[in-house]
Amino acid sequence: MKKLLYIIAILLSVTSLKAQDPHFSQFFASPLTLNPAFTGLFSGDYRIAGNYRSQWQSIGAPFITGTVSGDFGILKNYINPNDIWGVGILAMYDKQGPNGAMSTNYVALSTAYHKSLDPEGNHTLAIGLQGAFVTKRVDISKMTFGDQINPDGSTTGGTTETISKPSLSYFDPNIGILYNGLVGEASNIYAGFSYYHVTQPYESFYDKMNDANRIHKRITAHAGGSFPVNGNNRIFASALFMKQGTATEKTIGAAYGFLLNGMPDDPTMFYIGSWVRFSDAVNPYVGLEVKGFQVGLTYDTNISSLKPASNARGGLEISVIYIHRSDGNNKYKTLCPKF
């Protein structure tokens, strides 16, 4: 009960609450929710990625978010040999509240063209487009309202509350740009910018529609890179700035990759590192890459004002990426972003 009262006090102290898109601590492992310009940018034939996040389980009903995506290059024999044209599909679900009272399902198609900026294809500039179809639903039978709470704190009976539109759907376009480049012979840098909710569609479970019901645009700037250390080991670093409405996120971190099999072209690597989301959480990271699979695990250690209620516990997150590489595939010579 003390935890619940503490959370209520925090919420009451906020003058206005604005919705924020689901997000991942391992933002680098969910490329198509970060920037549609990442579509097709990887060293291989096709890529399949999945993410799962469970947040705030320590203080109540957790927020559950999951994604699965796939992308690949097309028309490889018809475009410039150093260019990449990628297409992809993404599915995401998000559940919030008791027993998942509010659920969101999201299906998106994306495409990006990566134009080579030099004869060797070591530097590319891409623009990506994404169109998403979003459906949301709220189930009031899974919720408790004030008219159901008795003086002793127990709950009983049904509610007189009604929602005129328990489900809604809309089309949601997104856009992004991305630079990726090789530095020297073995280092990589990238930087990108994405703009989600370009048309700021209406989102309301009631008939009334006004500007207060529009989804806030989400603007993201991100950058990162990798470079070799101690032979074939590598350091990977990345940073993120994201703003949506009044919510702002700033994240920075790095991981050290240990090459375990001595084969840089077919690596088995162990990763350890951490990212920090300022004024919110520290996210320790461990990962393993083997035979085209890369698995990552993070756990948010909460450092925000919610820490007394959460006991520093935040969200568990798992990512899995598989990149298929056929023999003799030399289409993608430039080092591609991993983190």
CATH 3.40.50.1970 fits 18-324, yes or no: no
Residue 191: strand pairing partners? 179, 223
Instruction: Return the pLDDT at 5.
Output: 35
- 12 has a pLDDT exceeding 90: no
- Please answer whether residues 256 and 269 qualify as being in contact, where contact means their C-beta atoms are separated by less than 8 angstroms: no
Bigger pLDDT: 308 vs 172: 172
Tell me if 251 sits within 8 A of 239, measured CB to CB.
yes
C-alpha 242/C-alpha 248 separation (Å) is 6
Over range 264-269, report the average pLDDT. Answer: 88
Is residue 85 pLDDT above 70, yes or no? yes
State residue 334 phi and psi, 5-degree precision.
-70, 140
Are 299 and 314 spatial neighbours (Cβ–Cβ below 8 Å)?
yes
| Residue 255 confidence (pLDDT) | 98
Distance of alpha carbon 71 from alpha carbon 68, whole angstroms: 11
Q: For tokens 């740009």, what's the residue?
A: 177
92-126 pLDDT, tens digit per residue, is 999 877 666 788 999 999 999 999 999 988 999 99
Whole-model pTM?
0.86
